[in-house]
């Protein structure tokens, strides 16, 4: 096989209590990418549709992540990449991660899968470093592994796949304002109190246990963030109204997706996810800011062939 078309999923990072360590992949939202082997060495981005992004390989995360893989492989040729960008950059649902993860997964597939998923995450993290100055893995790990992933350790990198309860859906509202990950990192404090730490790791343990035990109620009450959300939510118009109304409409929990401005909820079943979407519409229509709403099952397979 010399060419492949892949779906590169959007992802929700942090998931309230798991700042920089937890993430999940979505099914109904993502980019598409075509990757082709070429006899010429190196990587070329030949076409980008959907968004205005650089094709220079050192300025596009797909180029940087792809080159990292190419450097480590003994393949003698190169690759051409076409990106159909459907996830807006700076949306908080892993636009850059979709490209970084998609390209390394597709290249690995075309080379006969010489690299493990863990190695692919390491290559994709180089793309994330270009996008936000920090080589974080909480978006690229679920995009590659699928489902929920926990970055137990960054050094050495240790990624744990967590099972997804069958009826788990996400409803995400994306207000069309751009928040750069790098900017929304700068406003965070670098220290936390022991009291806040205790609450946070209690919730993180609770969420992971809830996912393993299919306990939707436990998942819901663990979706709390006392560290990052109070600071970052100030950047998101009507965050509190969306959160309160979504919880009232039956969402299990609600928080900031990645670094925002997208706000996610987790829901039990599609009907509940649709109810929450309706509530989000009602809340945001009068605000006067354009927005998108996505309803999606949690994606348990990650990047896949289209
Ligand atoms: P997101 O959380 O949606 O990925 P970020 O702010 O982390 O948003 O990253 C977007 C940044 O990465 C933008 O500055 C964008 O120009 C840059 N970028 C470079 N290549 C890509 C790509 N292929 N897809 C998305 N963003 C890219």
Domain with CATH 3.30.70.890 in the chain: 168-297
Is residue 186 over pLDDT 90? no
pLDDT of residue 1: 79
pLDDT of residue 167: 97
CATH of 168-297, one of 3.40.50.300, 3.30.70.890, 1.20.210.10, 3.40.50.970: 3.30.70.890
Is residue 181 over pLDDT 80? no
pLDDT band (50, 70, 90) for residue 44: very high
Digit-coded pLDDT (tens) for 201-245: 999 999 999 999 999 999 999 999 999 999 999 999 999 999 999
For ligand 1, the distance from its centroid to the CA atom of residue 44, given in whole angstroms, is: 18
Domain with CATH 3.30.230.10 in the chain: 3-162
* CB distance 14 to ligand 1 below 6 Å: no
Other CB atoms within 10 A of residue 292 CB: 14
Active site residue 238: no
Which residues, 6 or more positions from 143, have their beta carbon under 8 angstroms from its beta carbon? 8, 9, 11, 25, 94, 97, 98, 100, 101, 102, 124, 302, 303
DSSP assignment string, 260-282: SS-EEEEEESHHHHHHHHHHHHH
* CB distance 95 to ligand 1 below 6 Å: yes
Spatial separation of the C-alpha atoms in residues 219 and 206, rounded to whole Å: 7
* CB distance 96 to ligand 1 below 6 Å: yes
pLDDT band (50, 70, 90) for residue 180: confident
pLDDT of residue 134: 86
**Please, which residues bridge with residue 149 across strands?**
23, 161
Q: What is the mean pLDDT of residues 117-124?
A: 98
Beta strands per DSSP E along 99-167 = 148-154, 157-162
Digit-coded pLDDT (tens) for 95-116: 999 999 999 999 999 999 999 9
Active site residue 181: yes
For ligand 1, the distance from its centroid to the CA atom of residue 96, given in whole angstroms, is: 4
Class of domain 3-162: alpha beta
* CB distance 99 to ligand 1 below 6 Å: yes
Q: What is the mean pLDDT of residues 252-263?
A: 97
First to last CA, the chain: 14
């Amino acid at each position: 096989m010399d060419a492949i078309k892949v779906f590169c999923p959007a992802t929700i990072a942090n998931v309230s209590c798991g700042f920089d360590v937890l993430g999940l992949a979505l099914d109904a939202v993502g980019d598409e990418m075509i990757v082709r082997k070429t006899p010429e060495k190196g990587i070329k981005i030949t076409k980008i549709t959907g968004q205005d992004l650089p094709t220079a390989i050192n300025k596009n995360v797909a180029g940087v992540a792809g080159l990292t893989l190419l450097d480590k492989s003994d393949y003698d040729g190169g690759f051409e990449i076409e990106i159909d960008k459907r996830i807006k950059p700076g949306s908080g649902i892993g636009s850059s991660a979709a490209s970084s993860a998609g390209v390394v997964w597709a290249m690995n597939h075309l080379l006969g899968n010489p690299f493990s998923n863990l190695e692919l995450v390491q290559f994709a993290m180089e793309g994330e470093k270009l996008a936000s100055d920090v080589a974080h893995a909480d978006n690229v790990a679920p995009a590659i592994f699928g489902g929920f992933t926990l970055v137990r350790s960054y050094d050495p990198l240790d990624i744990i796949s967590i099972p997804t309860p069958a009826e788990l859906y996400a409803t995400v509202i994306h207000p069309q304002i751009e928040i750069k990950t790098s900017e929304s990192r700068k406003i965070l404090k670098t220290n936390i109190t022991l009291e806040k730490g205790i609450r946070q790791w209690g919730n993180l343990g609770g969420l992971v246990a809830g996912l393993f035990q299919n306990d939707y109620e436990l998942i819901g009450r663990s979706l709390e963030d006392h560290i990052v959300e109070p600071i970052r939510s100030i950047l998101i118009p009507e965050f509190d109204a969306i959160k309160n109304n979504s919880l009232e409409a039956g969402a299990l929990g609600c928080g900031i997706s990645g670094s925002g401005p997208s706000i996610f909820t987790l829901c039990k079943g599609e009907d509940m996810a649709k109810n929450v979407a309706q509530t989000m519409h009602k809340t945001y229509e009068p605000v006067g800011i354009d927005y998108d709403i996505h309803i999606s099952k949690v994606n348990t397979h990650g990047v896949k062939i289209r």
